[in-house]
Structure 1
Amino acid sequence: MKKKRLLTDRMAGMDGNFTVISNEEAVLLRKLKEFYQEVSTLTVNHHNLEGYAVVYSGDLAKPLAKVKQDWWNGL
């Protein structure tokens, strides 16, 4: 489990903030990170990610749970 958390954390671009997400979410985050690596701020509509919203700000990504909470609160 620790290995998965570290790998997932690295793919999400976070430094020191551990967020447990599913394998499917990790794959989506990795693909987004690779495709939009030159974009400083990215908001992905939750409909495109099966109910999830992902926000990248520079190299630091918000933890997924916080982003989902912000999205439903009117992000």
Structure 2
Amino acid sequence: MFAISPYDLIWSAGALVAVALTLAALVVWFRTRWERTGEAVLTLLVIVLVPILGPAAFLASRGRRPVPVKVRSSDRRS
């Protein structure tokens, strides 16, 4: 009888987590408007070449970037 070992299940779950994180990070990367090409390429390389830590660090850092605020003309002081 064929039985799946817990070791195989753990490695399979880890691989699924790595693929899911990488795909999520790539989706966010493609949707990001990059001001500098060098930064975009370096970030993409980290996402792809550093299996779990690269995508996780990229996704964690996305919430910490300052978002530019548009000032309406009615809010400006003369």
**Given the two structures, how large is their TM-score scaled by the length of structure 1?**
0.33
Q: Highest CA radius of gyration, 1 or 2?
A: 2
Give the TM-score of the pair, scaled to structure 2: 0.33
Return the structure number with greater relative CO, CA threshold 8 A, min gap 6: 2
- More strand per residue: 1 or 2? 1
